[in-house]
């Protein structure tokens, strides 16, 4: 069983029970105690559970509850992409971060940066970074989308237009050389567009499953972004089409 699968089972077990010992988790999930201990250490490092003497307990955080399942989709790829994108953030940077689950994966790797400012519409990103002393957070105001756990709407766009960032890190629902950038809703695309026009450089974080796919609402050309941060499964034809449109592709190795 892979680590992402074990993590999901461990978090689900803790969500149901509240707290469990290493032995209880081992028996419940049929995983060796040594592996459970190692996994608990790694998961706690991501801020998704609390270690206790001999076990772990769930985090009572209503902002992150329900966000975990979305993070779990294409887990390994998202983790790699988030780490790769974070390498482009330097001490002193001002950055936009949208509410996408892949962008959220940057958080773990941003905690080692110094004196960065994050402007975001994402409540999970706020919850993950709020206690990091070296990171200042500017939370965008506007209408709360409870399902997405994010701020959207005209006021949110006005808020973004009041600032300039060195870099923007955004996601999309679909990207293709033929139709550019697409989204499920106009709300999300308006936020992405606002981030892009107010940033010096735009990084699109997107796993290969979304490349060559088109969603409901077309909102921008590929010229809106400079870098595409994706995984190594991007095929040669897709890469040729996107680089031909001027994108710089950063693929995790």
CATH number, position 33? 1.10.10.10
- In terms of domains, do 102 and 213 share one? yes
Give the mean pLDDT of the chain. Answer: 89
- In terms of domains, do 215 and 102 share one? yes
pLDDT score of 64 more than 80: no
SS (H, E, C) the chain: CCHHHHHHHHHHHHHHHCEEEHHHHHHHHCCCHHHHHHHHHHHHHCCCEEEECCEEEECCCCCCCCHHHHHHCCHHHHHHHHHHHHCCCCCCCEEEECCCHHHHCCHHHHCCCCCEEEEECEHHHHHHHCCCCCEEEEECCCEEECCCCEEECHHHHHHHCCCCEEEEEECCCEEECCCEEEECCHHHHHHHHHHHHCEEEEEEECCHHHECCCCCEEEECHHHCCEEEECCCCCHHHHHHHHHCCCEEEECC
- The pLDDT of 50-78, averaged and rounded, is 70
- In terms of domains, do 115 and 27 share one? no
CA–CA separation, 180 vs 159, rounded Å? 26
- In terms of domains, do 8 and 41 share one? yes
Cα 13 versus chain centre, distance: 24
- In terms of domains, do 75 and 188 share one? yes
Contact 176, 214 (CB under 8 A): yes
Over the stretch 102-139, which tens digit does the pLDDT of each residue have?
999 999 899 999 999 999 999 999 988 998 999 999 99
- In terms of domains, do 38 and 125 share one? no
pLDDT at 252: 57
pLDDT at 47: 67
Over the stretch 177-229, which tens digit does the pLDDT of each residue have?
889 999 888 888 999 999 999 999 999 999 988 898 888 889 999 999 999 99
Residue in this structure with the two tokens 């887990």, named with its chain if needed? 75
Residue in this structure with the two tokens 């050389």, named with its chain if needed? 177
pLDDT at 246: 87
- In terms of domains, do 154 and 209 share one? yes
- In terms of domains, do 178 and 150 share one? yes
Q: Radius of gyration of the chain from Cα atoms?
A: 19
Give 75's pLDDT tier (boundaries 50, 70, 90): confident
pLDDT score of 23 more than 90: yes
- The pLDDT of 3-31, averaged and rounded, is 91
- In terms of domains, do 130 and 147 share one? yes
Q: Can you give the CATH number for the domain in which 91 is found?
A: 3.40.50.1360
pLDDT score of 162 more than 80: yes
CA–CA separation, 109 vs 136, rounded Å? 15
pLDDT at 161: 98
Over the stretch 83-105, which tens digit does the pLDDT of each residue have?
999 999 999 999 999 999 899 99
Long-range contacts of 60-66 (CB under 8 A, 24+ apart): 61/127, 63/123, 63/124, 63/126, 63/127, 63/149, 64/124, 64/127, 64/128, 66/149
| The total number of structural domains that make up the chain | 2
**How many CB atoms are closer than 10 A to CB 172?**
26
Last residue of a domain, one of 60, 90, 106: 60
Token digits of residue 83: 């780490």
- In terms of domains, do 169 and 212 share one? yes
pLDDT score of 36 more than 70: yes
Give 1's pLDDT tier (boundaries 50, 70, 90): confident
Range of the domain at 27: 3-60
> Which residues are CB-contacts of 55 (< 8 A; sequence separation ≥ 6)?
19, 20, 21, 22, 24, 25, 40
CA–CA separation, 151 vs 141, rounded Å? 7
- The pLDDT of 133-160, averaged and rounded, is 93
Q: What percent of the chain has pLDDT over 90?
A: 59
Between 185 and 23, residue with greater pLDDT: 23
CA–CA separation, 101 vs 188, rounded Å? 13
* pTM summary value: 0.75
pLDDT score of 30 more than 70: yes
């Amino acid at each position: 069983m892979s680590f992402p699968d074990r993590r999901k089972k461990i978090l689900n077990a803790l969500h149901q029970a509240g707290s469990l010992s290493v032995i209880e988790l081992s028996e419940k999930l049929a995983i060796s105690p040594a592996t459970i201990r190692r996994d608990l250490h790694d998961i706690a490092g991501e801020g998704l559970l609390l270690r206790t003497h001999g076990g772990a307990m769930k985090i009572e955080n209503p902002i992150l509850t329900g966000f975990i399942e979305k993070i779990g989709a294409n887990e390994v790829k998202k983790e790699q992409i988030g780490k790769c994108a974070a390498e482009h953030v330097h001490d002193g940077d001002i950055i936009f971060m949208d509410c996408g689950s892949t962008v959220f994966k940057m958080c773990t790797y941003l905690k080692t940066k110094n004196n960065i400012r994050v402007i975001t519409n994402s409540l999970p990103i706020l919850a993950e970074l709020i206690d990091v002393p070296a990171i200042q957070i500017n939370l965008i105001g506007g209408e709360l989308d409870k399902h997405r756990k994010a701020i959207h709407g005209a006021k949110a766009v006005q808020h973004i237009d009041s600032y300039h960032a060195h870099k923007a890190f955004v996601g999309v629902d679909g990207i293709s050389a033929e139709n550019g950038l697409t989204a499920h809703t106009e709300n999300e695309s308006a936020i992405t567009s606002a981030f892009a026009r107010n940033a010096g450089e735009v990084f699109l974080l997107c796993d290969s499953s979304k490349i060559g796919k088109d969603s409901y609402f077309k909102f921008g050309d590929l010229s809106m972004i400079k870098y595409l941060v994706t995984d190594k499964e991007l095929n040669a034809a897709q890469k040729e089409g996107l680089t031909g449109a001027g994108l710089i592709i950063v693929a995790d190795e």
